[in-house]
Structure 1
Amino acid sequence: MLTVFAHGTLLGPSQVAAHMRGKVSVHELSLAGNKHATAGKIEKASATVVNAFNKLDVAGVWGDGKTVAADGSQIDTWENNLLAETSIRYGGHGGIAYRHVSNTYVALFSHFIPCGVWEAVYIIEGC
């Protein structure tokens, strides 16, 4: 559960371990995350959460889910990273968290892309 919390909140294993007062180590959290989290499992879990949210009454308050918008946000990363670039559009160094969001405020899918990628490809093709 702590591994899910560490990665789900984007705190990471180091921050969670630092605040657990010695009850869990960075190595334990990292090992659990690396051993049990795969891209397929994360996508499956994301779909489960989105589908569960869609069943709630609150999802229909914002819309009927028939329209979608694109949202790109620049996220700072380490400079020595394959996705890290300087973004003229966002005015920072890092990558772009790119999402398609329905009018029910549910992220239908998302990608983390380099700043130099032509974002229109993701809008048109829905990759």
Structure 2
Amino acid sequence: MEKESLMYNISRIYRKLQFCLENKMKEYDLDRGLYIYLSHLLLQGEMNQQELAKAVNRDKAPTARAVERLILMGYIEKIISEEDKRSNKLYITPKAENIKQTLLQTMQTCEDDVLIEFSLEERQTFICLCQKFNK
């Protein structure tokens, strides 16, 4: 019964993706708590910390910790917003831009590895169902 459970199967997929990404991104010191934030900034561009937390569906505290680590590692910078001096905007640095393609390709490779047993049609259906779930 356990292997038929939705929770069991989703957690297995999640663990496989996490393991793959962590192993492939070790040389950049990006672990599971960081690459989700960095990849979102790389794909979506500048935003403030609150917008980032909402976009990746995380609480403010873990987002703040991840942002500080990414700043210390030189992947992003925080600059006071021109529009609202009380707010900071997050920007990617050249260091992050230099690994953008590697990060995106690695994410695709891990996804392909996890879905290797799926036909192209099954992959498309699976992705559509996941997107529907996340609306």
Structure 2-normalised TM-score? 0.30
1 or 2, which has the higher strand percentage? 1
Bigger share in helix: 2
Bigger relative CO (Cα 8 Å, ≥ 6 apart):
2
